[in-house]
Amino acid sequence: MNEASDSETRRASITATALTTSLGDGLDDVWGQLLAGRSGISRLTSSFVDEYDLPVRIGGVLAGHPSDHLTRVETRRMSYVEQQALVLARRLWTTAGDPIVDSDRLAVCIGTGLGGAEALVDAVDTMRARGYRKISPFAVPMIMPNGPAATVAVEFGARAGVFAPVSACASGAEAIARGWQLIADGDADVVIAGGVEGTINAVPIASFAMMRAMSTRNDDPPAASRPFDRDRDGFVFGEAGALVLLESAAHARRRGARSIADVVGAGVTSDGHHIVAPVPDGNGIARAMRKAIAAADIAADRVTHVNAHATSTSVGDAAEARAISDVVPQASVYAPKGALGHSIGAVGALETALTAKTLASATIPPTLNFIDGDPGVELDVVHSRPRETDARYALTNSVGFGGHNVSLLLETTRLSRSAPSRMSPLD
């Protein structure tokens, strides 16, 4: 196999996206809000905030519920994350032009953090109050964390494999890494990949608050999430879900689909250090970044942009900053969680879509609330206003509790490849 064809087989083209965030639905809509410097973080209005007198009263909440787009029967038989995955997958497929795909060459990789946790709570409450006969026969399928991926696989008849990474905040990115590997290894032509997560609720807020990992800047919600800023005081929840359609370059070309950007490498590592804290020197995410770059067989100095995980926690941001400085010190850096908050299992997929858009549009949005940089953070953090970029390669990082590290390397298709398309490449 010649070098050009080998390079082509090691890339997975992102030919469509479907996402939902507190700033809106769809990549173009959210992108416009980010470029305008708007925040999706506001004061929470749910009754549980006052009921439990929670110290954290802010978050990014979705405008709608996936059940708004499903039948009553579908809603009754699926957990929230399964509903979200199915709605997004249908939207993704439509955006992609309803492609005709060999089922034996179609795979699904959808990650989640807590999965159908609320369905478990509901089932326990029902059984205690009304007995076992009132438990839904769908209770277990609603609870199982592979439910979102399996639901989508059944919907589209995917038979090349169903994968459901459960790696905390790295779940969505790991799902895309797995999808890229399936295509690179020749095991699939098309992969529905991404991440979904449940709604903001009391128990996770209480737990993270007790860790002192969440911002309590309740009096100024839009300014609460402050990635890399010296005054950061913790992360902010932001509801979201995101899927991307990955295709082999050959398959995309055959059906006339244009790629937004290509995934050309992935690195997955683990810290083996602590259940909630990263290695302080950022060694774990640094190794993941290097693995992603090595997978693409390029020099590190060719990577000139990084989408940072940067959740706005003291330890996490500092560790990632060290990793970026060590591996790609020349790179510009953007941290979306300043505007969107942290969507746990969905965030890696969401930020992959945003990184693809950065490359496709040659524009980097401003990192919100980066006012006074941490003295230990020597990074070129894009802030205050959008910045034009000529980046060909960009990394997007995800880090999860338990020591999970995932880094994805994307390459722009804006510079060297074009193809006729039946759809907008930026949807």
Concatenating the DSSP letter of every residue in 384-422 gives SS-EE---SEEEEEEEETTTEEEEEEEEESTTT-----S
Percent of the chain with pLDDT over 90: 93
Q: Say if residues 190 and 153 touch (Cβ distance below 8 Å).
A: no
Given a cut of 60, whether residue 297 has pLDDT beyond it is yes
3-state secondary structure of 23: coil
Catalytic residue list contains 169 = yes
* Residue 157 CB burial class (10 angstroms; 0-12, 13-18, ≥19): exposed
Mean pLDDT of the chain: 95
Given a cut of 70, whether residue 420 has pLDDT beyond it is no
* Per-residue b or e along 27-65, where b marks 16 or more CB atoms closer than 10 Å to that residue's CB: beebbebbeebebbbeebebeebeeeebebbbbbbbeee
Instruction: Please tell me the distance from the alpha carbon of residue 52 to that of residue 63, in angstroms, as a whole number.
Output: 24
Q: Map out the domains of the chain with their CATH numbers.
A: 6-412 (3.40.47.10)
Q: Which of 109, 169, 251, 305 is catalytic?
A: 169
Q: Which of 109, 251, 305, 309 is catalytic?
A: 309
Q: Which of 109, 251, 305, 342 is catalytic?
A: 342
Instruction: Quick: pLDDT tens for 7-28.
Output: 788 999 999 999 999 999 999 9
Percent of the chain with pLDDT over 70: 96
Instruction: Quick: pLDDT tens for 45-99.
Output: 999 999 999 999 999 999 999 999 999 999 999 999 999 999 999 999 999 999 9
| pLDDT for res 5 | 60
Catalytic residue list contains 383 = no
pLDDT, mean of residues 255-275: 98
Instruction: Quick: pLDDT tens for 119-146.
Output: 999 999 999 999 999 999 999 999 999 9
Instruction: Please tell me the distance from the alpha carbon of residue 98 to that of residue 302, in angstroms, as a whole number.
Output: 36
Catalytic residue list contains 342 = yes
